[in-house]
Structure 1
Amino acid sequence: MLLDVDGPLNPFAGSAETRVGFVEHRIRLSRWNKRKVLRLWLNPALGPALLGLAERTGAQLAWATTWGHRANTVIGPAICLPVLRVVELDDSGGRWKFPAVERFAAGRPLVWLDGDFDFYPAERDAFLGRRVGVPTELWRVDPRVGLNTDDVATVEAWLGGHSNVGTAK
């Protein structure tokens, strides 16, 4: 199960009314101007919910985010996730994350939580076409709302219907 940060775990496009359960965090990242503060909204209940889902279904969690390894040092601790594997994104010539995810998933069952699939419809469709016969779910999370309990329950039901999900490397 692949996790993106911005959108699913950080509903950056939301408002106080739509970010129910999310807590504001202010961080400085060294790659930016040291005076610039980045605001994130993270829900501390999501880490345990995702870990529980993974335990119940045999899925393995990994990051598929432009945050890269920083997701393990900034995001994970804030929502009680352990260090996770990271999909190594590269310059994919405008094909977004799909080439890196395709290499990472390598024919294994996949559920991927992200908010940006609709921005790359041709690449999304080509990616899905190459995964015919391999259980694959691209779960779009609204970046105004973020991942919620309904999303987690639906993803868990999908994973429960694919008994070989726990065989991932």
Structure 2
Amino acid sequence: MRGLLLLDVDGPLNPYAAKTHRRPEGYRTFRYTRRGTWHSGRDARRYKGLRVWLNPDHGAQLRALADDTGLELVWATTWMHLANTLVAPSIGLPELPVIEFPETDFDRDTGWLPDGSWKWRAVAAFAAGRPLAWLDDEHDDGHHEARAWFDRDRADVPTNLCHVDPRHGLWPEHLDGIRAWAATIPR
């Protein structure tokens, strides 16, 4: 059974919590506007919208990690299918499977429900007992009940919850840790 390498966008790939006016080294600026347009380069400065910092080296690094470990890359992000449309081409990833988060857990005015259970439940259902490594910045963000349920549900399944600081984004140490963890899983 092939294991999974789950990718969140905001935090691991987009260090959104970095100093506002100091783009991290190696990253490029993108803008996602309310009209649904995606801009990069000089155009990213001309448009207002959600600022996203992405490192184009991450795509090759993640593909190499998947090749080395046999893990399947999967989006586990509230960007859902937009991750394939916007983020993947910007960092050199192919189209990946997407974990769907239920619309019932989203409120147009307040966003995703604050208990966090929606993400944990959707990941557990998608993984269906497969080993997984999960790059995310919210594993320990006060979702204690949801996290406890997830840990019980996956008690006998190899699981690596790899926390990524949203001020810094993905580092080689994260990838090295997943590579070492994956080496312990029979293929």
Scaled by the length of structure 2, what TM-score is found? 0.80
User: Match of 1:138?
Assistant: 161
How many residue pairs were aligned? Answer: 162
Please give the alpha-carbon distance, in whole angstroms, between the structure 2 residues aligned to 1:163 and 1:44.
Answer: 31
Please give the alpha-carbon distance, in whole angstroms, between the structure 2 residues aligned to 1:38 and 1:2.
Answer: 23
Q: Is 1:3 the counterpart of 2:7 in the alignment?
A: yes
Deviation track 1:91-131 (CA, whole Å, cap 9, x = no partner) reads: 35741301111110000101111001112122112201111
**Correspondence 1:10-25 to 2 at 5 A:** 10-15=14-19, 19-25=24-30
Bigger Cα Rg: 2
Scaled by the length of structure 1, what TM-score is found? 0.88
Please give the alpha-carbon distance, in whole angstroms, between the structure 2 residues aligned to 1:12 and 1:96.
Answer: 22
Aligned with 1:63 (options 75, 78, 100) = 75
**1:107 is paired with a residue of what secondary structure?**
coil
**Correspondence 1:27-66 to 2 at 5 A:** 27-30=32-35, 36-66=48-78
In the superposition, relative to structure 1, how do residues 60 and 47 fare at CA in structure 2: closer, same or farther (>3 Å)?
Answer: same
Please give the alpha-carbon distance, in whole angstroms, between the structure 1 residues aligned to 2:96 and 2:25.
Answer: 25
**1:86 is paired with a residue of what secondary structure?**
coil
Following TM superposition, by how much is the alpha carbon of 1:29 offset from its aligned partner in structure 2, in angstroms? 4.5
Following TM superposition, by how much is the alpha carbon of 1:62 offset from its aligned partner in structure 2, in angstroms? 0.5
**Correspondence 1:54-133 to 2 at 5 A:** 54-90=66-102, 91-92=104-105, 94=115, 95-119=117-141, 120-133=143-156
User: Match of 2:108?
Assistant: none
Following TM superposition, by how much is the alpha carbon of 1:28 offset from its aligned partner in structure 2, in angstroms? 2.1
Following TM superposition, by how much is the alpha carbon of 1:26 offset from its aligned partner in structure 2, in angstroms? 2.1
Please give the alpha-carbon distance, in whole angstroms, between the structure 2 residues aligned to 1:3 and 1:18.
Answer: 21
Structure 1: state its 5+ residue gaps: 165-169
Structure 2: state its 5+ residue gaps: 38-46, 106-112
Q: Which amino acid aligns with 1:150?
A: E
Q: Is 1:156 the counterpart of 2:184 in the alignment?
A: no
- RMSD (Å) for aligned C-alpha atoms: 1.9
**2:173 is paired with a residue of what secondary structure?**
helix
